Structure 1
Amino acid sequence: MFDKPAGHDQYLVKDEPYYELVGDEVALYEAAYSARMPMMLKGPTGCGKSRFVEYMVWKLKRPLITVACNEDMTASDLVGRFLLDKDGTKWQDGPLATSARIGAICYLDEVVEARQDTTVAIHPLTDHRRTLPLDKKGELIEAHPDFQLVISYNPGYQSMMKDLKQSTKQRFGAMDFDYPTEQTEVSIVSKESGVDADTAGKLVQIAHRARNLKGHGLDEGISTRLLVYAGQLISKGVNPEAACTMTMVTPLTDDPDMRDTLNAAVQTFFG
């Protein structure tokens, strides 16, 4: 066991996140972590990638630092920068540097949203070097032995302009995620939202119909996350049709015809 660096405990996931096992993903990830292999999680929006990461860091008892990537994120946002305060100039580590120092699992969510010149900053940490150069500070961080980098993205949603470079992709092991099987998804929706299995089943059936429209008027199908939102509203006494419209129709599309199609699916089960 290695000594816990300062700040370690504040990043721990203290309560077990709810996660339904789908296959051998837990065992595969544990093996990857034992080798400190950088990991890439690929799958549609809201299918459980982030929840899986939270569950695994809880299971492994490792700290987690999550970064929601966006197109305005610079390498300095990720690595660190000098800041001015009343005492002068001081260095502030970014989330990647902090993770490398304390041995956290650093999770870059939707990494392809970041600029490619920013993602290049992760390269030295994802090969045999396991180092992070802080050029502005003149320091080379050697990653803590427990450090691991995990990235996620939705490959079906990205344009070619936003895909990862091969030089980045080939630094990672990868796991595919998708929406759960019907039975598993019903269990997740019921457990997470508090609705009964029959209501959860109806929500899942609506989602299946919407997912068949992906590429035929919808950019994305209804995620498991949105099904949980709908169930939470229903469990609070909201009319099921209104709950579904609010969480499973309006967020997905502004196209009147597509909304009519989705609302028709809702009325089939809750009308």
Structure 2
Amino acid sequence: MTAHNHATVLENHSAAPFYVAVGDEVEVFRAAARRGLPVLLKGPTGCGKTRFVEAMAHELGRDLITVAGHEDMTSADLVGRFLLKGGDTVWVDGPLTRAVRTGAICYLDEIVEARQDTTVVIHPLADHRRELPVDRLGTTLSAAPGFQLVISYNPGYQSVLKNIKESTRQRFIAIELDFPPPEVETEIVAHEAGIDAETARLLVTVGNAIRNIDGAPLGEASSTRMLILTGGLIAEGLGVRRAVQAGIVETLSDDRDVVRALGELVDALLPRP
């Protein structure tokens, strides 16, 4: 693995990732996987898209290669490039090429952050061809059995200038994910953070209250991931109010007026010391 491609590889040897299904997303993914169909996950940041893919990869017995999309990503970051090693020029596969060769699931997270000319490289893999042209090697690779392409993005956050092209979108099966209902989110936060259900329920109440603020100048909502991180602080002995301030309030905004308003909302929801 090289630093330039920002890829992580999850081999299917560890314990099953904890995931609680909210709807029929598991059934839809299983059906797509049986056909080798590519999947598009839509949903807000921190709602569990990555964990869902990890859980499905484990269930299907496939390795998972995850690539974080960013504005400087090039097609070479996905496919591979020639590098100098010990005075020799050698070819190094990119994460997408490794997944194609080995039959892994390749998860391109927040794909619209990459340049649109970069995402075109996935088109032959996302239709009936299931092929990856590697122009620099003068060859075309056929996807190994088990290979599946999964991409994700946050339609509520991405700007008009950063959206998935229709020619890309129409190659995918779409699954929309959102923040879980309170009882499910409470179970998730309690399990992942290692805290009791009552404390987890309190954090979920805070999270939902912030999500439901009308016209709040927040770039992102209080995500399930954020609630889990806050719960981790509480599990380490930090007081609930201080943990919420550090894990949620201060994280959501740098605007002092917004931080103050969020703090007042939290004070109204949390029990008095």
Post-superposition shift, 1:217?
Answer: 1.4
Q: 1:4-30 CA distances to partner (integer Å, 9 max, x unpaired)? A: xxxxx9732521111112121111110
* Closer/same/farther in 2, CA of residues 44 and 11 from structure 1, 3 Å limit: same
Cross-structure match for 2:31: 31
Contact 1:214 1:220 in 2 (8 A): no
Q: How does 1:201-212 map to 2 (within 5 A)?
A: 201-212=201-212
Contact 1:211 1:222 in 2 (8 A): yes
Q: Which moved more, 1:110-119 or 1:190-199?
A: 190-199
Q: How does 1:243-254 map to 2 (within 5 A)?
A: 243-254=243-254
Aligned: 1:56 with 2:53 = no
**What are structure 1's unaligned runs of at least 5 residues?**
1-8
TM-score scaled by structure 1? Answer: 0.94
- Mapped to 1, the partners of 2:225 and 2:179 lie a distance apart of 10
Cross-structure match for 1:105: 105
- Mapped to 2, the partners of 1:264 and 1:96 lie a distance apart of 47
Cross-structure match for 2:159: 159
Cross-structure match for 1:148: 148
Post-superposition shift, 1:265?
Answer: 2.2
Q: Alignment RMSD, CA only?
A: 1.4
Contact 2:10 2:65 in 1 (8 A): no
Q: How does 1:45-84 map to 2 (within 5 A)?
A: 45-84=45-84
- Report the number of matched residues: 263
Cross-structure match for 1:42: 42
Q: 1:107-142 CA distances to partner (integer Å, 9 max, x unpaired)? A: 000001001011011011011111111111111111
Cross-structure match for 2:5: none
Contact 1:13 1:54 in 2 (8 A): no
- Mapped to 1, the partners of 2:111 and 2:80 lie a distance apart of 18
- Mapped to 2, the partners of 1:117 and 1:159 lie a distance apart of 17
SS in 2 for 1:152: strand
- Mapped to 2, the partners of 1:214 and 1:223 lie a distance apart of 17
Contact 2:73 2:115 in 1 (8 A): yes
Q: How does 1:1-271 map to 2 (within 5 A)?
A: 11-213=11-213, 215-268=215-268, 269-271=270-272
Q: Which moved more, 1:87-96 or 1:42-51?
A: 87-96
Post-superposition shift, 1:179?
Answer: 0.3
Contact 1:65 1:106 in 2 (8 A): yes
* Closer/same/farther in 2, CA of residues 218 and 258 from structure 1, 3 Å limit: same
* Closer/same/farther in 2, CA of residues 151 and 10 from structure 1, 3 Å limit: closer
Post-superposition shift, 1:41?
Answer: 0.3
Post-superposition shift, 1:258?
Answer: 1.4
Post-superposition shift, 1:192?
Answer: 0.9
- Mapped to 1, the partners of 2:227 and 2:195 lie a distance apart of 11
SS in 2 for 1:250: helix
Post-superposition shift, 1:62?
Answer: 0.5
Q: Which amino acid aligns with 1:262?
A: L
Post-superposition shift, 1:42?
Answer: 0.3
- Mapped to 1, the partners of 2:165 and 2:21 lie a distance apart of 31
- Mapped to 1, the partners of 2:215 and 2:48 lie a distance apart of 21
- Mapped to 2, the partners of 1:199 and 1:12 lie a distance apart of 32
Contact 2:100 2:142 in 1 (8 A): yes
Q: Which moved more, 1:223-232 or 1:193-202?
A: 193-202
Q: Which moved more, 1:261-270 or 1:194-203?
A: 261-270
**What are structure 2's unaligned runs of at least 5 residues?**
1-8
Contact 1:13 1:57 in 2 (8 A): no
Post-superposition shift, 1:199?
Answer: 1.0
Report percent identity of matched pairs. Answer: 52
Contact 1:213 1:221 in 2 (8 A): no
Q: Which moved more, 1:181-190 or 1:261-270?
A: 261-270
